[in-house]
Amino acid sequence: MATKVPAPAQDQGQNLGAFETKRMRINVGPQHPSTHGVLRLVVDLEGERIRALRPHVGYLHTGFEKTMENRTYHQCVTYSNRMDYVNGFAHDLAYMVAVEHLMGARVPIRAQRIRVILNELNRIASHLVFFGTTLLDMGALTPFFYTMREREKLMDIFENVCGVRMNYGYFRVGGLRQDVPEEFVPLVRDFLKTFPAYLGQYDTLFMGNDILEARTRGVGVLTRQQAIDLCLTGPSLRASGVPLDFRKTAPYSGYDEYDFDVPCYDDGDIWARLQVRMDEMHESLRIVQQAVDRLEPGPTIDPDRRISLPPRWELEDSMEAVIFHFKLVTEGFHPPKGEVYVPTESARGELGYYIASDGGSMPYRVKVRAPSLANLQSLEVSSIGGLFADMVINIASFDPVLGDVDK
Amino acid sequence: MARVPFMMPKPADLLQLRADALGRLAELGGSVHVFKGMISVTLPKEQVISALRAVRDMGYEMLTDVHGMDYLTYPGHKGKRFSVVYDVHDLSGAERLFLRVDLDDGESVTTCTGIWPGASFLERECFDMIGVVFDGHPDLRKILTPEDLDGHPHRKDYPLGETPTLFNDGRFLDPPSFRAGLTGRDPGLTGWKGGTREGVSATQVPGPRSRLTSNLDAGEAGEN
């Protein structure tokens, strides 16, 4: 392994006489704060060093995919954001772009911009949770309160838009459930004004901290080739030197209109994984700023009556509108036969919905390519040979959300 | 610490890569199917591993997903019951291929953990959900479902375990028959497919046009 931690000195055991190190098997989790959910690890230790590690997942398996196969496309909106509850808008958006691609829906510009704003704000919120909990695992209690304070402002924006703080369900096939309230733009502008100062604070407080550098530099290293072979995606892959970002190279929801950079480092250690996410928050702010500046009044949902409900006022004097409304509510729409997949970039990595349609109004098969499950495999390679205490921050540095792992 | 710059891939290179890969896959007996810009190549079972290795060496270096499909109840499906889909893309993420292999019940396919060690969890999930056995996998165990659960939940003949709803007038609502009208197998009560009449685009629904456009301009479309 490429970790830079020195190997245990051989003579120490001899000096201690009868002291010997035996391989010991330790169970970590599933219910422990440092495992970020219900992740169970079986770790083989020799002294403090990890010799083998096996993740056990599935404690949160809810069968979302199977449930979605037995609901109409519209009803599935309820399920998509509940998988990754920290970054719900990304799941909503990934599901929507796949269904819209299948249906050939034309999403109005305003809806796309609002989606991008919410998705990027949610990315910031997710990274704030990441920083809070990762530093908590290192023993620093204060950053958690700092990051949660800012996240609370974002939660207020989300609550203002869709009425809930976590499981949003605000996007619809073809656009949005409704236009944003009047206070939305002032709230976002206010956040854009205040947050850069806090971000600078985080930069000095977290990344400029000597203790953090000492704990994370050269720890849990994944080389570029290892990261590729282990199917790692997202910020963790970019920390290993692969500048892959689907917002740039496979743009969806109008991401190609915005000017932003893809932070990428070739260190591959925990420090790089933190730094990439810190830089990403700056880039997300840039995207939000551009999107808010370009936000213009207009429709927020595709007026195509095959997929979107007619507005309430139209029901009063149009018989056809009533029929469309009734059919959409009772049956939903019928996409053409075929299979689609649209990759998106969530806060954790590549996220995509592989949707197979049989021509009915329920998806024939939904396969969620969730980033956390594949990313979890890198934990084994990057932890072996290192210290047990480093493994705890190593888990956090891959930012797994167990709802996303287990689906 | 060194920051790696981001480079946009050249479209000509990507087209060349795709042409090369499709040519090589055709030599291996692959048949190409394109739907909405998504390229799927169905391969004979024996050639899957050599095909994956070939496209990887050409530049499709990342494996995104390995997942299974069960076509037991798919309307009009002919051929084998299961498919395993390999989702590979290049390092820029702009060029993507779906390699597929069709399998019957009881057939197995060789693991690709020898090419990508990260395929381990993905193949385990496929095994758990669909029941496809990957020969040579180092640790083929269930991953998401409990150990004492029999069967593979994503097979189409796996029961959902719903209870029929009893209404107070003694009428039962059986969930599967209720849902039958929503699948592509059954035309439903009216045969409505979510479309408007032939030749009438959906935005031209008869109604108060002036109000429709003015409200669209004001950004109120979609409010119900």
Q: How confident is the model at residue B212 (pLDDT cuts 50, 70, 90)?
A: very low
Chain A residues closer than 8 Å to B111 by CB: none
Tell me the pTM: 0.86
Q: What is the pLDDT of residue A84?
A: 87
**Angle, alpha carbons A307-A309-A311 (nearest 5°):** 140
Residue in A223, A265, A319, A331 to test binding to B, most B beta-carbons within 10 Å? A331
Q: If you measure CA to CA, which chain B residue comes closest to A365?
A: B69
Q: What is the pLDDT of residue B217?
A: 42
Distance (Å, whole) CA A37 – CA A162: 26
Residue in B92, B99, B213 to test binding to A, most A beta-carbons within 10 Å? B92
Q: How confident is the model at residue B185 (pLDDT cuts 50, 70, 90)?
A: low
The alpha carbon of residue B176 is apart from the nearest alpha carbon of chain A, in Å, by: 9
**Angle, alpha carbons A108-A110-A116 (nearest 5°):** 105
Q: In what order do the strands lie in the sheet with B62-70?
A: B31-35, B38-43, B96-103, B82-89, B62-70
Query: Tens digit of pLDDT for each residue in B57-73?
Result: 998 999 999 999 999 88
Phi and psi of B151, rounded to 5°? 90, 175
Chain A residues closer than 8 Å to B188 by CB: 331
> Side chain identity at B217, as an amino acid letter?
D
Q: What is the pLDDT of residue A8?
A: 52
Nearest to A93 by CA among A116, A76, A72: A116
Say whether pLDDT at A13 is over 60.
no
Helix (H) or strand (E) holding B109: strand B108-110
Collect all residues with Cβ–Cβ distance below 8 Å to A300 and sequence separation of at least 6. Answer: A108, A110, A111, A114, A175, A176, A178, A179, B219, B221, B222
Q: What is the pLDDT of residue B221?
A: 42
Does A380 touch chain B if contact means CB atoms closer than 8 Å? no
Does A30 sit behind a cis peptide bond, omega within 30 degrees of 0 on the bond before it?
Answer: yes
From the list B183, B184, B206, the residue facing A320 with the nearest CB is: B206
* Cα–Cα distances in angstroms (integers) from residue A252 to residues A41, A89, B207, in the given order: 36, 14, 33
Q: Do B121 and A377 touch (CB under 8 A)?
A: yes
Say whether pLDDT at B166 is over 80.
no
Chain B residues closer than 8 Å to A361 by CB: 182-183, 194
Q: Which of residues 57-76 of A touch B (CB under 8 A)?
A: 57-58, 61, 63, 65-66, 70, 72
Collect all residues with Cβ–Cβ distance below 8 Å to A10 and sequence separation of at least 6. Answer: none
Say whether pLDDT at B222 is over 80.
no
- Contact between A19 and A345 (Cβ < 8 Å): no
* Cα–Cα distances in angstroms (integers) from residue A144 to residues A129, A140, A147, in the given order: 8, 8, 5
> Side chain identity at B56, as an amino acid letter?
R
Q: What is the pLDDT of residue B52?
A: 92
Residues A303-325 have a mean pLDDT of: 86
Does A296 touch chain B if contact means CB atoms closer than 8 Å? no
Nearest to A106 by CA among A298, A351, A368, A286: A298
Phi and psi of A52, rounded to 5°? -150, 150
Query: Tens digit of pLDDT for each residue in A191-207?
Result: 999 999 999 988 888 88
| Long-range CB contact pairs, A19-24, < 8 A, 24+ | A21/A46, A21/A47, A22/A46, A23/A51
Nearest to A407 by CA among A131, A164, A84, A184: A84
Collect all residues with Cβ–Cβ distance below 8 Å to B159 and sequence separation of at least 6. Answer: none
Greater confidence (A15 vs B212) lies with A15
Chain B residues closer than 8 Å to A228 by CB: 61-62, 91
Residue with tokens 């207009």: A298
Distance (Å, whole) CA A363 – CA A72: 7
Q: What is the pLDDT of residue B218?
A: 43
Q: In what order do the strands lie in the sheet with A40-46?
A: A23-28, A40-46, A49-56
Say whether pLDDT at A406 is over 60.
yes
Number of cross-chain residue pairs from A and B with Cβ atoms under 8 Å apart: 247
Q: What is the pLDDT of residue B192?
A: 52
From the list B121, B129, B182, the residue facing A331 with the nearest CB is: B182
Q: What is the pLDDT of residue B1?
A: 63
Q: What is the pLDDT of residue A274?
A: 92
Residues A11-20 have a mean pLDDT of: 55
Give B101's strand partners. B43, B84
Residue A97 CB: number of other CB atoms within 10 A?
23
